[in-house]
Chains A and B, each alone.
Chain A
C-alpha cells in the first residue's frame, strides 16, 4: 500500500499568517494517464470532509484562492496564504492513483 505521510500533525497559526502542510507518498502518484491523483481535504469540526484541491494543484470551485496546492511525484504541499478563523480543522491528503486509496494521518490546524 502507498503510505501517505503528513507533517506537521499539529499546526498552531496566527490569524493572517501563512501556513503550509507537507504530504509525502511512498511511491510516485503519477498515473498511467499522466495525471497525479493527489487530493487535499478540509474537515471542520463536526462536519464532513470537503475537497479543496484535486490533481495536486487544481482548486475546487468555491474554494477561496488563499488555498493552493503544489508538488509532483511523491512530494506535495498545501498552502494557506493568510489563515482565517474559518480555516480551523483537520486537513488530509489522499492519493487516488494506486489501489487501495490511502489518506495521510491528518494535520490539525488551530489558531494560536
Chain B
C-alpha cells in the first residue's frame, strides 16, 4: 500500500527551528517529485515546497524562501523540511504529498507561539 507518514511537528517559539520528516512506503520513492503543503487553522491549502527526483531542483513559496529547506534521503525513503526562523504565521498542519498531490499523508502539526 502506498503510504506517507509525517512526523516532527511540535510547539516552538518564534524564531526557533524544527525539522519535519515524511516516511514513504509502498512505491519507488526515487522516481517521484515530492512536496510539502500546509494548512493554517481554519484556512485553505498552501503549497510550500517541491523537490524533484534527484533533488537537483527545488522550488519554494515566497513566504518560506530563505527560511525553509526541502530535502530527501533516498536510502531512507524519506522527505524532510527544515524550518528556521519560524513565525506565528507558519502555524499549520504540514502535509507531505507525492507528485501533484496523488497521495497525501495525515499531516503533522506545527505551532509557533511564545
Contact = CB atoms under 8 A, between A and B. Distances in A.
Interface of A: 37, 39, 41, 43, 48-51, 54, 60, 90, 92, 94, 96, 99-106
Given A48-B106, A49-B95, A101-B50, A94 B44 contact: no
B104 A48 contact: yes
A103 B101 CA distance: 12
B101 A49 contact: yes
A35 to B, nearest CB: 10
B104 A92 contact: no
Interface residue tally of chain B, by bracket?
10 to 19
B45 A54 contact: no
B47 A101 contact: yes
Given A100-B47, A100-B61, A49 B102 contact: no
Contacts of B55: none
Given A99-B59, A100-B59, A100-B61, A49 B47 contact: no
A89 to B, nearest CB: 13
A54 B59 contact: no
A39, A51, A54, A106, most chain B CB atoms within 10 A? A51
